Amino acid sequence: MEFSRRLDLFGPEIFAALNDKKVALEAEGRHLYNLSVGTPDFAPADYLKQALIDAAQDNENWKYSLRDLPEMLEAVCGYYKRRFNVDTITPDEVMSFSGSQDGIGHLGLALCNDGDLVLLPDPCYPVFMTGSKLGGAEPWYYKLTKENHFLPDVTSIPEDVARRAKLMLVSLPANPVGSIGTPELYAEIVDFCRKYDILLVHDNAYSDIIFDGAHGGSIFNTPGAEECAVEFFSLSKSFNVTGARISFLVGRRDVIAACKKLRTQIDFGMFLPIQKVAIAALTGPLDGVQRQCGEYQRRRDALCGGLRGIGWNVPDSHGSMFVWAPVPAGYKTSMEFCLALIDKAGVICTPGSSFGPSGEGYVRFALTMPVEKIGKAVQAIKNSGILG
């Protein structure tokens, strides 16, 4: 049987490959430190668990939802006011997705035609590339460079490219590189997109994981963004509910309407008990989210500071739950180094090559273990002799 040629657009799924290696080594009795996949090790709050239990007791909640509950859409609007001081969002400018990955993966199908040009950060999370290619779009990568602190630089985009572009995806705080935006940078990006009539798609999954006193906001804190932007906003990392797959697309109602039209063809809506969990998170206390951010910063310090202490010059991440580390000298590729790190030290990270053309030469660590275990992982790397 000949399968879809669309599958040829994608390489092997790197996280699955790393997990296969992990399972094989664990079967041999090896102790591993898994810092590859960005799923929080923190527990969800008790009130979120209770919201799920209570909702699951109602037989009516086991039927197709067919829509986003009005009270959930109102809760998103209220959260944007409470958390981001944005009071212009209305319920018809909000829709749910089963995780930002699902939303971004389908975005090209709703918004792009064959040959449309999409501006993508490089490095970027792999689904940015996937969603564009599934929609038949042509990716054009704007580089996130060490010299520019891994931040977008719209002045590096040629005018002929800007005039062709239909979408621009931006992720700040950035996965995988850990950079964060400033009001001035957001203003430059919004002005650029308005000038060239480009839809700005902001992935805002990590606004609650931001370090050293910086503030994580929304693209809609930037004047003019309401004219040119939509934003993916997720509960996964802030509230430790990654498996529940709760995210929202917020912004221009014409874009929301297009994405809703596509979704009605492939989905019967978010499971109603999950919608009740979302409402509980959006309307509940935020002090736990803030405390958790402090713990992520302590983990960042333990990993980056610890690696520098053993001779690996890894710069501090400024946000997200990830650290972007240069591959040590002596290794030809990031995958070669990742496999050596697993074999010699029992530490699992992700090769930068899976994050776009400019990811080669780096690896990504996820801050998904307590400080004490991170310290042990650092010691394992030192003891392995892998750094020379």
d(CA 209, CA 319): 6
Beta bridge partners of 231: 202, 250
Note the pLDDT tens digit of each residue in 267-315.
999 999 999 999 999 999 999 999 999 999 999 999 999 999 999 999 9
Percent of residues, the chain, with pLDDT higher than 70: 98
pLDDT attached to residue 6: 83
Predicted TM-score (pTM) of the model is: 0.94
Average pLDDT over residues 147-157: 97
Rounded Cα distance between 327 and 352, Å, is 9
pLDDT digits (tens, 9 = 90+) for 161-217: 999 999 999 999 999 999 999 999 999 999 999 999 999 999 999 999 999 999 999
> Mean pLDDT score of the chain, rounded to an integer?
95
Give the strand order in the sheet containing 362-366.
322-326, 362-366, 350-351
| Distance in Å from the first CA to the final CA of the chain | 49
Q: What's the confidence (pLDDT) of residue 269?
A: 94
Position 246 pLDDT exceeds 70? yes
Instruction: Give residue-wise pLDDT tens across range 332-357.
Output: 999 999 999 999 999 999 999 999 98
Say if residue 140's pLDDT is above 80.
yes
Kindly report, residue by residue over 61-95, the tens digit of the pLDDT.
Answer: 999 999 999 999 999 999 999 999 999 999 999 99
Residues 196 and 100 in one domain: yes
Structural domain boundaries enclosing 149? 46-283
Residue 175: partners with Cβ closer than 8 Å, 6 or more residues away:
38, 124, 125, 203, 205, 206, 320, 322
CATH number at residue 205: 3.40.640.10
Task: Identify the domain boundary among 265, 283, 301.
Answer: 283
The average pLDDT across 226-249 equals: 96
Q: Is residue 204 domain-shared with residue 168, that is, in the same domain? A: yes
Residues 371 and 294 both lie in one domain: yes
Q: Is there a single domain that holds both residue 101 and residue 10? A: no
Do 159 and 274 have their domain in common? yes
Residue 383 has pLDDT above 70, yes or no: yes
Q: How many domains does the chain have?
A: 2
Residue type, 383: N
Same domain, 160 and 92: yes
pLDDT at 13: 63
Question: Average pLDDT, stretch 109-122?
Answer: 96
**pLDDT score, position 239:** 97
Q: Minimal CA–CA distance to 263: which of 154, 105, 88?
A: 105
